[in-house]
Amino acid sequence: MTAAAKQVPDSEWLAKLQSGHRTTLARAITAVENETAGAGDIISAIHPHLGHAHVVGFTGPPGAGKSTLVSAYVAELRKRDLTVGVVAVDPSSPLTGGAILGDRIRMTAHTGDEGVFVRSLASRGHLGGLSRTAARVIDVMDAARRDVVVVETVGAGQSEVEVAEIAHTKVVVCAPGLGDDIQAIKAGILEIADVLVVNKADLPLADRTVKQLKGMLGLTKREGWTPPVLRTTATTGEGVDTLADKIDDHADAEGGLRASPVHRVQRLLAGIAAERLKRRIERQDDPAMTELCEAVLRGDVGFDAAASRALELLVKSKD
Amino acid sequence: MTAKREPVQLPLPGLDRARAEWRQAYESQVPGEDARSNRSGIPIKPIYGPDDWDGTAYMDGLGYPGQAPFTRGIHPSMHRGRPWSQRQLIGLATPEDYNTRMRGLLDAGVTALSLIPCNSVYRGFDVDEVDIELLGTCGTTVNTVEDMEICLDQIPLDQVSVALNDPSPFTLLALMMAVAKRRGTPWKSLTGTSNQSDYLSHFIANHMFFRLALPGAKRVLMDHIMFMNREAPRWNPISVVGQHMQQGGATPAEAMGLTLSTAIQYANDLVERGLSPDDFLHRFSFFFDISISFFEEIAKFRAGRRVWTSIARDRFGAKDPKTWRFRFHAQTSGVDLTRQQPLNNIARTAVQAIAGIFGGLQSMHTDAWDEVLSTPSDEAARIAVATQNILREEAHLDDVIDPLGGSYYVERLTDQMEEEIRAVIDKIDAAGGMYAAAEAGVVQSMLGDSAMAFQDRVDSGEQTIVGVNKYVVAEDASHRPTLERPPEDVMNAQIARLGRFKAERSSDAVSKASDALVRAANHAEENVFGAIVDAADAGVTHGEICTILRRELGFGQPLVVA
Amino acid sequence: MTATTHRMPLARPPKVLVTKIGFDGHDRGSRIVAAYLRDAGMEVVYTGPWQEIPFVVNLALEEDVDVIGVSSLATDHLLVPKLMDALREAGLGHIGVIVGGIVPDDEEAVLKDAGVAHVFHAGSSREEIVASIEELVHTVRAQAA
């Protein structure tokens, strides 16, 4: 907040950011994360300089060892002499808005290495496993000329779809034997996963999980890129070099293009608008709404038709 | 099993009527709901009677002391014939200070010694590797076989039992064995305990112990047990530490359940090493916190003995009744002590100590009242010892074995605690055992939730803490001792001594022993603890041993569960 | 969980780093305080024990925190003045620093002299801790603006 709010993001500021000045980067992130007064200027200033970073999203159920895998992947990138930005998203409490940001602590191995910059974000009630401003935070890291920006989601059920909006390469991580989780995530996941990883591959059931995933992939044919199913043991680093190779391969295959920014913004707007609509319908307090709900309860009206009607009521109530 | 016993209605004529009349009279004095529960969440009734416990299951559930299931005590004579040992943990800056204080305590009637090393030792460092501010504030700086010789000067190692607060990789023990070897004291005559051998509790509750990564810690512990079983069979190589669990936030029932689950893990690991439970279970000992929740603690220990018997006998099929005995050391809990009105802590410690004695402990440490303010002063440490002497010799608490046995309340509560303890063990079993549960953070979350729940009770005033959330008085702070940090020149002298030791030792012997340690660490068929003992004897320092193992076996990062 | 009812007139949630430096690993207190702050709507970067000063400084920088809370129960608190020097050297002198745990009276003065804003002792209430940190965040941000 401090310097970023005061400092107009001029060319000197930009040079500082691009040369890797860490405090400048930290404060710019604070500004865009919180949409402070200076945020707009920063976003305009960096806009022409985006597109350097390869953005890699890691998602998957809790307990799959995402943070440890991200840390091992970062170490691998550093071996390859690439600079890295990490955005780790932790959930905010829906009751109080507070959050414990603990994920980054599994990445202690990179302390003292200026080539790694880790930032935690609280999801702040935003559904979808990221925070509302995560995409902008990634942009700032991109503008700061980080070669790779790794985004780790909270691991909520719907995170994969949103990661798809902002990451070039989507890595879906699961642990052996999380059969139910695989069932639960498979719906949306196979369309978006570019690389599937079975982490904790030293555990029993790893083979079976790999087989299951491959089987499920076989059912959904995709054009061009065929998502590989990899095995890693993040704690020892085993398989992480192959993971890094495959992520590279994917970037090459896809030409390194992120989803178009306009499309991305449109999707984000849709998400925010949907939340607002939901809240308003829930709070809608008029006899017509009550009547509509009672009709549904009686079975006189189907849910689909009733939902359309609810939207109409909402529009009317606005008048 | 005993826990599921249904109360039997005895034919007691007039009982129902008397109870109904009492209930009415009671409610006229205590109108409305007065729901109470203990720290383990067990509801506490205003009175217990024959319908809670009727004695018909006496032989199954209690028996006599020294008889399975040992609920009433592990020895036939308990504190009459086997008084509890008074073990005071002494942490003093230099080996010389330690030796002086220790010999004084032996003269004062203490029958067993403890050694608390400096926090730098706990964390795996020598004195020359850390900030000098951190040295010697909580314990003795012991890095070399020379330091250990000074600590143990004129202390007959074959006559005094020594509890070493010595986490993995057990360098203090290795140094002590090197001293014994030099003195010609046979290892077979050594008695005592590796008091901090429980790496799983260190991993779960953090505290301040040096930790290898879990697989390495497991390996070193197993090698340590195998080595001591063979070379010093009177040594207790494993002490499972429930204290860390309870201090970390576990309820008394959880602490007992988690501790027993840890013991199950170690026993399974040893069976996997090819040992039979009859070979090692009798060497397991336990270490607990005694909170101020008086009856709950007594029931915790009584139930713990009963559950352990069934674990050793039924789960592991051990035949030797010695293995069914649940031997434990306990320490009055520092968590209950307060900075406010600190002399009140003397009263708290006494209550905790009584619970421990009635709970049938084998050895006890009573906290000094000033422990919450700083490292205990001489006078406070003396009061702590005196507390035990007063309870035994003035109050005669050792006259009767298990004096609360047969109390309707205590027997019912013991049964209920047993149920809670078994539920915890089942939960850990379901998570794949203690190792897997610790690795996954299951236990850490349990502790965090319970710590928070207790704190909520304190914050809301439901749980009184005198001087903190009730009966607060304006205080004269002059009672408060200040922390005596050792003068810097004293610590500089320690660093200098270490430097001299390193310069004078045989570098050839050191490099050979270090190489052997590296090799042992990387070869599963070698005994890594044997190599540690050899290294200590060859003059390799504590910090150097830890550095080698940290490198070869990996460091145990804290698992952060917030 | 009883959330405190403090109003939050700040433009964004307070961001607090809760950590332990030195040897001591007793983390029950720091975990409880982290939960207090979360329940008061703050964003808490929580590290667990045994952190080294350069690590804490780097974390504070990358996360752009308002306040650092150091928990110490076993004499490690005398490292805090060194932490404050390191923060100033890294250009992070604006960050408020508080200490909680077991700190003897005479050494509390040493910490205050070094610029520690508050020392919380065992038995400090939730309200006291939350209110002081909120206050401190206000001060820190006002000075930075």
Question: CA B445 to CA B431: how far, in whole Å?
Answer: 13
- Which of the residues A104, A105, A199, A238 would you substitute to probe the B interface, choosing the one with the greatest number of B C-beta atoms within 10 Å? A105
Pairwise CB contact (< 8 Å): C41 & A118: no
HEC profile of B79-137: HHHCCCEEEECCCCCCHHHHHHHHHHHHHCCCCEEEECECHHHHCCCCHHHCCHHHCCC
Provide the token pair at A235.
């704690």
Pairwise CB contact (< 8 Å): B339 & C121: yes
- Which position has the higher pLDDT, C75 or B530? B530
Rg (CA), chain A: 22
Quick check: helix, strand or coil at residue B238? strand
Rounded to the nearest angstrom, the minimum Cα separation between A74 and chain B is 18
- Which position has the higher pLDDT, B290 or B195? B290
Q: Are B277 and B316 in contact (CB under 8 A)?
A: yes
Residues on chain A touching C94 (C-beta within 8 angstroms): 2
* Lowest pLDDT segment from A192-196, B104-108, B489-493: B104-108
Q: How many Cα neighbours within 13 Å face the side chain of C118?
A: 19
Provide the token pair at B340.
């406010």
Pairwise CB contact (< 8 Å): A100 & C38: yes
Q: Quick: pLDDT tens for A273-309.
A: 877 888 888 888 888 899 999 998 888 888 888 888 8
Spell out which chain B residues touch chain A, with contact meaning CB-CB distance below 8 angstroms.
440, 557, 560-562
Pairwise CB contact (< 8 Å): C102 & B373: yes
Q: Are A104 and A90 in contact (CB under 8 A)?
A: no
Q: Which residues between 421 and 460 in chain B have a beta carbon less than 8 angstroms from any beta carbon of chain C?
A: 447-448, 451-452, 455-456, 459-460
Check if B211 contacts C (Cβ < 8 Å): no
- Which of the residues C17, C20, C31 would you substitute to probe the B interface, choosing the one with the greatest number of B C-beta atoms within 10 Å? C31
Q: Which residue has the tokens 């206000």?
A: C138
User: Chain B residue with minimal CA distance to C23?
Assistant: B208
Q: Quick: pLDDT tens for B445-484.
A: 999 999 999 999 998 999 999 998 999 988 766 666 666 7
The CATH code that applies to domain A50-258 is 3.40.50.300
Phi and psi torsions of C86, nearest 5°: -65, -35
Provide the token pair at A136.
């902008």
In terms of Cα–Cα distance, which of B280, B265, B205, B295 is closest to B235? B280
Instruction: Work out the average pLDDT over C17-30.
Output: 89
Domain regions of chain B by residue span: 58-460
Q: Are B328 and B362 in contact (CB under 8 A)?
A: yes
Instruction: Work out the average pLDDT over B124-142.
Output: 88
- Which of the residues B339, B341, B444 would you substitute to probe the C interface, choosing the one with the greatest number of C C-beta atoms within 10 Å? B339
Residue B284 has pLDDT above 50, yes or no: yes
Residue A314 has pLDDT above 80, yes or no: yes
Residue A191's contacts (CB-CB under 8 Å, 6 or more residues apart) are A220, A222
Residue B16 has pLDDT above 60, yes or no: yes
Q: Are B525 and B107 in contact (CB under 8 A)?
A: no
What's the topology of domain B58-460? TIM Barrel (3.20.20)
DSSP lists the bridge partners of residue C51 as C21
Residue A170 has pLDDT above 70, yes or no: yes
pLDDT at position B497: 96
Q: Are B535 and B174 in contact (CB under 8 A)?
A: yes
Pairwise CB contact (< 8 Å): B339 & C1: no
Pairwise CB contact (< 8 Å): B557 & A63: no
Distance of CA B198 to the CA centre of its chain: 10
Domain regions of chain A by residue span: 1-48, 50-258, 264-318
- Which of the residues C43, C55, C92, C126 would you substitute to probe the A interface, choosing the one with the greatest number of A C-beta atoms within 10 Å? C43
Provide the token pair at B169.
């990789």
Pairwise CB contact (< 8 Å): C46 & A30: no
What percent of chain B shows pLDDT beyond 70? 95
Nearest to C64 among A27, A96, A108 (CB): A27
Q: Is the dihedral of CA B98, B246, B352, B456 positive or negative?
A: positive
Q: How many Cα neighbours within 13 Å face the side chain of A201?
A: 20
Q: Which residue has the tokens 């953005």?
A: A55
Residues on chain C touching B447 (C-beta within 8 angstroms): 28
Q: Quick: pLDDT tens for B341-367.
A: 999 999 999 999 999 999 999 999 999
Instruction: Work out the average pLDDT over B120-148.
Output: 90
Angle at B373 between CA B254 and CA B491, to 5 degrees: 110
Residue B222 has pLDDT above 70, yes or no: yes
Q: Quick: pLDDT tens for C47-57.
A: 888 889 999 99
User: Chain A residue with minimal CA distance to B561?
Assistant: A102
Q: Are B512 and B538 in contact (CB under 8 A)?
A: yes
Question: CA A34 to CA C12: how far, in whole Å?
Answer: 7
Cis preceding linkage at A91, omega within 30: no
Residue A19's contacts (CB-CB under 8 Å, 6 or more residues apart) are none
User: CA distances (Å), B420 to each of B168, B293, B304, B444, in order?
Assistant: 31, 16, 11, 18
**Which residue segments constitute the domains of chain C, with CATH numbers given?**
15-144 (3.40.50.280)
User: CA distances (Å), A37 to each of A2, A43, A103, C9, in order?
Assistant: 11, 11, 29, 16
Pairwise CB contact (< 8 Å): B562 & C102: no
Residue A184: left (phi > 0), alpha (psi -120 to 50), or beta?
alpha
Residue B277 has pLDDT above 90, yes or no: yes
Q: Quick: pLDDT tens for A49-102.
A: 888 899 999 988 777 888 889 999 999 999 999 999 999 988 888 888 899 888
Instruction: Work out the average pLDDT over B478-494.
Output: 79
Rounded to the nearest angstrom, the minimum Cα separation between A91 and chain C is 10
pLDDT at position B116: 87
pLDDT at position A207: 85
In terms of Cα–Cα distance, which of C43, C36, C35 is closest to C17? C43
Pairwise CB contact (< 8 Å): A100 & B562: yes
Q: Which residue has the tokens 């745990």?
A: C101
Count Cβ neighbours within 10 Å for each residue of B294-321 and write b for 16 or more, e otherwise: bbbbbbbbbbbbbbbbbbbbeebebeeb
- Which of the residues A105, A118, A123, A137 would you substitute to probe the C interface, choosing the one with the greatest number of C C-beta atoms within 10 Å? A105
Spell out which chain A residues touch chain B, with contact meaning CB-CB distance below 8 angstroms.
63, 100, 102, 105-106, 108
Nearest to B372 among C27, C28, C122 (CB): C122
- Which of the residues B165, B452, B471 would you substitute to probe the C interface, choosing the one with the greatest number of C C-beta atoms within 10 Å? B452
Pairwise CB contact (< 8 Å): A98 & C39: yes
Q: Quick: pLDDT tens for A124-153.
A: 877 666 777 888 999 999 999 999 999 998
What one-letter code names the amino acid at A156?
A
- Which position has the higher pLDDT, C64 or A218? C64
Residue A166's contacts (CB-CB under 8 Å, 6 or more residues apart) are A55, A57, A130, A134, A135, A138, A151, A258, A259, A264
Q: Are B5 and B61 in contact (CB under 8 A)?
A: yes
Residue B558 has pLDDT above 60, yes or no: yes
Quick check: helix, strand or coil at residue C121? strand
Rounded to the nearest angstrom, the minimum Cα separation between C6 and chain B is 16
Highest mean pLDDT among A188-192, B412-416, C101-105: B412-416
Q: Are B335 and B468 in contact (CB under 8 A)?
A: no
What one-letter code names the amino acid at C54?
P
Q: Are A150 and A86 in contact (CB under 8 A)?
A: yes
Rounded to the nearest angstrom, the minimum Cα separation between B437 and chain A is 12
DSSP lists the bridge partners of residue B238 as B284
pLDDT at position B343: 93
What one-letter code names the amino acid at B160?
V
Q: Which residue has the tokens 């559950």?
A: B307
Provide the token pair at B398.
């050792």
Pairwise CB contact (< 8 Å): C123 & B338: yes
Pairwise CB contact (< 8 Å): B560 & A108: no
Pairwise CB contact (< 8 Å): A102 & B440: no
Q: How many Cα neighbours within 13 Å face the side chain of A143?
A: 27
Check if C31 contacts A (Cβ < 8 Å): no
Angle at B152 between CA B146 and CA B155, to 5 degrees: 150
Phi and psi torsions of A223, nearest 5°: -80, 145
* Lowest pLDDT segment from B120-134, B172-186, B257-271, B354-368: B120-134
Residues on chain B touching A108 (C-beta within 8 angstroms): 557
Q: Quick: pLDDT tens for B518-534.
A: 999 999 999 999 999 99
pLDDT at position B478: 61
Nearest to A119 among C62, C92, C141 (CB): C62
Nearest to C104 among B340, B374, B460 (CB): B374
Q: Which residue has the tokens 């915790």?
A: B300
Quick check: helix, strand or coil at residue B36? strand
pLDDT at position A189: 66
Provide the token pair at A217.
């992939």
Rounded to the nearest angstrom, the minimum Cα separation between A74 and chain C is 16
